[in-house]
Amino acid sequence: MKLATYSTANDATLKVGLVRGEEIVPLADNGISGDMISLLDGGLDNDAIASATHAKQGIPLSSVSLHAPIPLPGKILAIGLNYGDHIAETNSKPPAFQMWFNKQRNCAAGPYADINLPMVSDKLDYEAELCLVISKRCKHVPADRAHEVIGGYFCGNDVSVRDWQMRVPTFQIGKSFDTHGPMGPWLVSPDEVGNPHDLDILCTVNGEQRQKSNTQHLIFDCFEAIAHLTQSFTLDVGDVLFMGTPSGVGVAMKPPSFMKVGDVVRVEIEKLGYIENTVVPENAETVIG
């Protein structure tokens, strides 16, 4: 099952729909109301959704605007140095423990939204990543039960402003600029994904392959991540985890190759679809209130 958060040209209200081929079937029009977080919180019932939408007419996907599956997550957490080849290319030491940092939730962006080139930096980089969303409030979850709290998977790009990232050890600000967390194109349910640790992952910039790997090369897998995090704090419904990036990032190229205005970066993951975003200049307007 694929569920998308979307709006239409005539109605900016965010809705949830079932993606079926090249069309999307609005859930609210078929008796299933709520945003993606409330649907997850209520327990996604594949059979109920399938029954409610069976033989119901959808609308063309091409006629809607897709948003991040979770438009404003409570928490966005990202793990660093989680592929061996990425550790090698950045001349880093393998972490003894999982290395997590926050991406502020305001960075969340749609699967085809523009990415801002910041006014304050030209060191803009991409990181293709598998994302997952939490579907049950949870604490102290053992790895062998972590699958019970995953609501689905989607593509993500952990866009990074490298000079701001490396100024301080937390990484947080350099990973949290507005628009620097594109996700989507939709949430794919765990039953449709199957094993999340055997998915091909690809990133291209302007059609040129930059990253190519498989999630089997994760050092700490999705279930271990949840087990580790929930030893410390509660994960809530709608929290999003970025699971790390493989080798091929721009900062590690010789010479480094950062994204420029007009560049198109695409992240594609097997079974999940793809997201594709264009780099544009950041709006310099002061915003207060």
Please check whether residue 289 lies inside any domain of the structure: no
Domain boundary among 17, 46, 66: 66
96/216 same-domain check: yes
Q: What span, in angstroms and rounded, lies between the C-alpha atoms of 225 and 78?
A: 10
Query: 212: part of which helix (H) or strand (E)?
Result: strand 208-214
35/101 same-domain check: no
Nearest CA among 134, 162, 161, 163 for reference residue 150: 134
Q: According to the model, what pLDDT value does residue 144 have?
A: 98
Please check whether residue 286 lies inside any domain of the structure: no
Which residue is listed with tokens 């859930």?
Answer: 27
197-226 pLDDT, tens per residue? 999 999 999 999 999 999 999 999 999 999
* Under 8 Å between Cβ of 218 and 242: no
60/138 same-domain check: no
Q: Is the pLDDT of residue 12 over 90?
A: yes
115 burial level (CB within 10 Å; 0-12, 13-18, 19+): buried
49/157 same-domain check: no
* Under 8 Å between Cβ of 122 and 209: no
* Under 8 Å between Cβ of 228 and 77: no
11/152 same-domain check: no
81/57 same-domain check: no
* Under 8 Å between Cβ of 48 and 31: no
Which residue is listed with tokens 């996700």?
Answer: 183
Please check whether residue 253 lies inside any domain of the structure: yes
The percentage of the chain sitting over the pLDDT mark of 90, rounded to a whole number, equals 95
Q: According to the model, what pLDDT value does residue 230 have?
A: 98
What pTM value is reported for the model? Answer: 0.97
Please check whether residue 122 lies inside any domain of the structure: yes
Grouping H, G, I as helix, E, B as strand and the rest as coil, residue 171 is coil
Domain count, the chain: 2
96/239 same-domain check: yes
Q: According to the model, what pLDDT value does residue 158 have?
A: 98
* Under 8 Å between Cβ of 274 and 155: yes
Give the domain range for residue 202: 76-281
Mean residue pLDDT of the chain comes to 96
Q: Is the pLDDT of residue 45 over 90?
A: no
Q: Is the pLDDT of residue 55 over 90?
A: no
229-247 pLDDT, tens per residue? 999 999 999 999 999 999 9
Domain containing residue 274: CATH number? 3.90.850.10
